[in-house]
Structure 1
Amino acid sequence: MNRTHATRAYALIALTAATVLAGCASPEPRYYTLAQGPAAAGASVATPAAPNTEPLWIEVAPVRVPERLNRPQLVVRDTHNGNEAGLRLLDLSRWSSPLPDEMRDALSQRLQASLGAVDTYQQGLADVSPVYRITTEVVRLDADIGQRAGATINWTVRRLPDGRVVSGRTQSDLAAPGAVEGVVVAYRQILSAAADDIAAGLRALKR
């Protein structure tokens, strides 16, 4: 084999090896967020409250989430072979931050916008005493890919000066057509509904 032919042969081998390696490479995971924004198509958008001379100080505590759901991956119902009782982790569909943080930030975003409030927890304002503390617990969060998504969220608003409390529960099941994106959009809508319920409870305490 002359030098020219050898060079071509080596180039062909290198190209073939690169192609094989590319075909064997694992696909990269896609990351999702529950925060609302321009990309959150289908999610309701809060109407900002009129500016106040004195902010409404709130504290949105971290959301309590069942350990079975507290995973980097999205967790959905496993309906394969009719096994509706099981759960499935979507390795290629992951939250951009831990799920309790995703949910807390989404609730805080909506509450700050709708109430004209400042979340002392999110802003790291250790020297400011919040007037209302909001705690939430996820009882249920599940989805069937391409079909539906639902949640049950318990919440409490406590007025700190006197300890008065308003509690409630937000339950919702929404259609989630399409792939994983449909589930994420439905979850955003559910969290928006929970934030609206919490805001109504807080306003009741202000009377």
Structure 2
Amino acid sequence: MIMRRKQTDRRTRLGLSVSCLLGVLALAGCATSPDSQYYTLSTVAPGAVTTADSSSKPSDLAHPLMIEMTPVNIPDQVARSQIVTTTAGSGQVQIEDYRRWSGPLADEIGGALSTSLTRALPAIDVYRAPRPAGATVYQITVNVRRFESVIGERATVDTVWSVVRSSDHLTMTCQTIATEPVSSGYDALVAGHRKALARVAADIGAAVQQERAEPVRLPSDASDSSADAGASKTAKGQKAVNGKKPANAGSEAAVSPVSATQPAPILLCPSSNPAPSA
């Protein structure tokens, strides 16, 4: 009798163990993790012209404006593949494991800025690409101080950026703080960041155009040689019209290089995107 009871108890315990194991496996099958969703900041609107702007002139295509979008610096707290959100008012930070950027966030920001600039100016980005000898390139550096994501409230991008003209190192350094209100959801949040970055790109583009309009500042000896050559050319042109001054005489002086000893031009930072009020 005792042996039969022991065998019965063993069978009962074995049955319970098998039942528990099957239950755990069933729960594991039901509790599958959600699929990760990926987002990008660099997009092209449907129907947009991507090879060259339709308003570009033939001269623009033959002698394109060149920019160099260098790698973007971003804060360490958002330098991850997951989207990092902030809770309004509490200061709490949430790392969203299943909401991710399609690439490194710094590359996403740099790509978005490059796309906006090359289409708006228009220009070509020659970063890591050969460029013609003596070509003027506008080097762009961007330091992101804040990249803030508040679901259902706002998307903020706080940047300090600079534009340097390669021919004479004419430099502009400015700050753009762009905040866009957003509705609830991650799609709206990412769209808000795209709009904020478009505002940053608009300011950088305006700075490039300002520098482009300024005469190149050469060293004093080089500018003196250039001035002598220009004076000789002008004198020959005046003799060619029987001593009368040509109608366009002196027009080249407006675009001729100037001496580096002259005062540096005063370039004002774009003010189309003022910082939001506190």
The residue number in structure 2 matching 1:126 is 130
Shift of 1:158: 0.3
**Larger-gyration structure (1/2):** 2
1:33-112 correspondence to structure 2 within 5 Å: 33-38=40-45, 48=53, 50-51=56-57, 52=60, 53-79=62-88, 84-112=90-118
Partner-residue secondary structure (3-state), 2:106: helix
| Identity between Structure 1 and Structure 2 (%) | 31
Task: Answer yes or no: is 1:198 the counterpart of 2:207.
Answer: no
Shift of 1:126: 3.2
The residue number in structure 1 matching 2:31 is 24
CA distance in 1, matches of 2:26, 2:45: 38
The residue number in structure 1 matching 2:193 is 187
The residue number in structure 2 matching 1:11 is none
The total of aligned residue pairs comes to 181
Task: Tell me which of the two structures has the higher relative contact order, counting C-alpha pairs closer than 8 angstroms and 6 or more residues apart.
Answer: 1
Shift of 1:103: 0.3
CA distance in 1, matches of 2:178, 2:111: 20
Aligned residue type for 1:59 = E
Structure 1 ranges of 4+ moved more than 6 A = 16-19
RMSD: 2.3
- Normalised to the residue count of structure 2, the TM-score between the two structures is 0.60
Shift of 1:204: 0.3
CA distance in 1, matches of 2:202, 2:26: 52
The residue number in structure 1 matching 2:180 is 174
- Normalised to the residue count of structure 1, the TM-score between the two structures is 0.80
1:146-165 correspondence to structure 2 within 5 Å: 146-165=152-171
CA distance in 1, matches of 2:26, 2:40: 34
Gaps of 5+ in 2: 1-22, 47-51, 214-278
Aligned residue type for 2:177 = Q
The residue number in structure 1 matching 2:148 is 142
Partner-residue secondary structure (3-state), 2:78: coil
Shift of 1:145: 0.8
CA distance in 2, matches of 1:100, 1:172: 17
User: Contact 2:74 / 2:144 at 8 angstroms: preserved in 1?
Assistant: yes
Moved more, 160-169 or 184-193: 160-169
